[in-house]
Structure 1
Amino acid sequence: MEPILPMEPKKSEAVPEGNGWLAQIKWDGVRILTYFDGTKVRLYNRKLNERTWNYPELTNLSSYCSAESVILDGEVIAMGEDGKPSFYEVMRRDGIRRKEKLAQMVSIVPVAYMIFDVIYLNREWLNKRPLNERTRLLSDIIEPNEQIQLVSSHRDGNHLFHVIKENGMEGIVLKKEDSPYQIGQKTDHWQKVKNYLDVIAVVGGFTLRGGVVNAVLLGLYNQKGELYYIGHTGTGKLSNQEWRQLTDILKKKEMDDRPFINKPERNDTAHWVRPALTVKIQYAEWRPGHSLRQPSIQSFVDVPPKDCKMPEDGET
């Protein structure tokens, strides 16, 4: 059973009009597809990187799923201190690479798996069946528990989005109830409406205060493969210890030449680095000239720098 690229929603500025739409909470976590061939359970993210080792809570499939073989689609989330899904917290789990640290972090950062689709069931592909049928089959085979949940669907997308905004959550996904699961595709059958905006950006430089990084300079690659400066930030969810760790990491990547094709406003005080580190950035909007307004760091992410590209049509 080879891993597949998941279906993705297109960005929309508003909840779509008309009938036949189902609205779901857009959970701020890590997209994970679970594969069970009847013998072995494997987990892969949306980039087809294996994550079986990172989330042992999900691998005891028989404790929550009655299928003989299955491919499940969902989002792994972790809660922050405010009781809301936190991308920063889930990345603390997703980025672990040492077994001794994982054993500790399983209890420190518990996760939940929010399942919203089934693509393959008992040796039969379901991707051409409509969403409402797949959802019924999903509810038949999943037994929710504290760490395994089924994502609920709502008819009133505008009301759900209002609730999401009131609670400061990421957004919602609207899905046509008769939509097939289009593997590896991004179509209008699924649309996302976000309460706030985010982008994965490349760190191309930094500034120091008292010997510690106090801001990072961010960029995205244009269509020519050139790194374009989009802004800097020194705010976000990183702890003081993580800023110090970031200082050590970036100092080892320093180089003489500016990696950006355009000149940053902090050009004179900046230290340049080899573009290797990527971060998730939350921001208010794009400003004229292709720069971010009010960017803040949410977390380090494991994304290849060359995948961090300038939006062509406002998509983020």
Structure 2
Amino acid sequence: MLFSAIKPMGVSFGEEPFDDQHFIYEPKWDGVRILIHKQGGRIEAYSRSGRAVTHKFPELQDAISAIKTHSAILDCEGIVLRRNGAPAFDDFMYRDRISQLGKINRAVHTHPVTFVAFDLLYTDREHLNEPLVERKKRLAAVVDSTPVLMPTLFVEAQGKALFETMKERSMEGIVAKRKSSMYVPDTRSSEWLKIKHVKSIDVEILGYRMDPFELVIGLNFRTVKHKPVGVVAEGITAADRAWFVAIAAPLVMGKEGNTQKMEPRLCCRIDYLDRTDMHQLKMTTFRGFLLDKKPEDCVWHY
């Protein structure tokens, strides 16, 4: 099990925060899943897909002494904290993207990574079939909190209060986990639920599809302009659709598959609950057209 790729246990979507004495609740960190393997003086890191990424994070060497057992496998979230104390997803993705040694060494100081550990899969034996609360006790006993590695905080029973606290701190939301849950790699568990705050963003409209009707939406990034970031259909009324099709006709540049491609001249506001590592927005809801918004002002929030 040590130093071999393990696909971590996944979470399902929860709709609303809730209180339940049979659950613990953790902050939803805005980072990337990383599994850390340690044996003696050797430490390695693997991505969710099993990619070896140790070389990208030299600060991992400082985590060896923080793990107080000879061998361990930790399930973590890799994050980069900004000065306001909130994690920044794009900052971590920068660390994951760079490969030149000089840039990596500089980034250790400009974009320092913290690995937030929330589960313990192995020490001198596997712990996958132990209840979560037992794994949490073991995790607390074997990991010291340092700038590079720290166990995540969690509360019991009080999910609603933690959800509101995370909202106040501009965090993504919470993860609710049943205390008795076992760890099953490469599965999406209904006993682990991520519950996120709804986020709003202004997007440009890059095209549309008629059957079913949906808008193709885009954003401007520092290095990429007019990047498609998803579609939105929910919340669009028949009146919205009729108005849009009439006003969009002169802007159509051609057809690609079942998509009418458009000049980026129109904007709208959407809500979304999730996004992928490549900034694709998921679980979107249309909120309204923005007639006075300039498309170039529809940018990703860094």
TM-score higher than 0.5: yes
* Deviation (angstroms), 1:87: 0.5
Q: Distance in 2 between matches of 1:134 and 1:108?
A: 34
Higher CA-based Rg:
2
After TM superposition, the structure 1 stretch with the greater mean CA deviation from structure 2, 171-180 or 77-86, is 77-86
Q: Distance in 2 between matches of 1:197 and 1:182?
A: 31
Match for residue 233 of structure 1? 219
Match for residue 284 of structure 2? 285
* Matching of residue 70 in structure 1 with residue 72 in structure 2: yes
Specify whether residues 116 and 297 from structure 1 end up closer, same or farther in structure 2 by C-alpha distance, changes over 3 A only: same
Match for residue 141 of structure 1? 142
**What is the aligned-residue RMSD (CA, Å)?**
3.3
Q: Distance in 2 between matches of 1:231 and 1:90?
A: 25
Q: Distance in 2 between matches of 1:40 and 1:233?
A: 42
After TM superposition, the structure 1 stretch with the greater mean CA deviation from structure 2, 170-179 or 56-65, is 56-65
Number of aligned pairs? 248
Structure 1 letter corresponding to 2:284: E
* Deviation (angstroms), 1:229: 6.9
Match for residue 16 of structure 2? 14
Task: Specify every segment of 5 or more residues in structure 1 that has no aligned partner in the other structure, as ranges.
Answer: 199-213, 220-227, 250-256, 269-277, 289-293, 300-316
> Normalising by the residue count of structure 1, what TM-score does the alignment of the two structures yield?
0.69
1:90–1:109: 8 Å Cα contact kept in structure 2?
yes
**Aligned pairs for 1:19-38 within 5 A:** 19-38=21-40
Specify whether residues 295 and 169 from structure 1 end up closer, same or farther in structure 2 by C-alpha distance, changes over 3 A only: farther
* Deviation (angstroms), 1:187: 1.4
Q: Distance in 2 between matches of 1:161 and 1:194?
A: 8
Q: Distance in 1 between matches of 2:94 and 2:280?
A: 16
2:11–2:189: 8 Å Cα contact kept in structure 1?
yes
1:46 to 45, 48, 52: 48
Match for residue 130 of structure 1? 131
CA deviations 1:64-113 (Å, max 9, x no partner) are 00222111011111123543110011111111111111111111111111
Q: Distance in 2 between matches of 1:91 and 1:116?
A: 20
Task: Specify every segment of 5 or more residues in structure 2 that has no aligned partner in the other structure, as ranges.
Answer: 209-213, 228-253, 266-276, 288-296
Match for residue 203 of structure 1? none
* Deviation (angstroms), 1:265: 3.6
* Deviation (angstroms), 1:17: 4.8
* Deviation (angstroms), 1:61: 4.0
2:26–2:176: 8 Å Cα contact kept in structure 1?
yes
1:229–1:261: 8 Å Cα contact kept in structure 2?
no
* Deviation (angstroms), 1:282: 5.2
> Normalising by the residue count of structure 2, what TM-score does the alignment of the two structures yield?
0.72
Specify whether residues 22 and 93 from structure 1 end up closer, same or farther in structure 2 by C-alpha distance, changes over 3 A only: same
Match for residue 271 of structure 1? none
Match for residue 169 of structure 1? 171
**Aligned pairs for 1:218-297 within 5 A:** 230-234=216-220, 238=221, 242-243=222-223, 246=224, 261-266=258-263, 279-281=278-280, 285-287=284-286, 297=300
SS at 2:184 equivalent: coil
SS at 2:137 equivalent: helix
2:74–2:120: 8 Å Cα contact kept in structure 1?
yes
* Matching of residue 5 in structure 1 with residue 4 in structure 2: no
* Matching of residue 110 in structure 1 with residue 112 in structure 2: yes
Structure 2 letter corresponding to 1:230: V
CA deviations 1:270-304 (Å, max 9, x no partner) are xxxxxxxx73145783349xxxxx985367xxxxx
Specify whether residues 77 and 296 from structure 1 end up closer, same or farther in structure 2 by C-alpha distance, changes over 3 A only: same
Specify whether residues 193 and 55 from structure 1 end up closer, same or farther in structure 2 by C-alpha distance, changes over 3 A only: same
SS at 2:98 equivalent: coil
2:63–2:148: 8 Å Cα contact kept in structure 1?
no
Match for residue 157 of structure 1? 159
2:178–2:191: 8 Å Cα contact kept in structure 1?
yes
Q: Distance in 1 between matches of 2:107 and 2:86?
A: 19
Structure 1 letter corresponding to 2:135: R
* Deviation (angstroms), 1:23: 0.4
* Deviation (angstroms), 1:63: 1.4
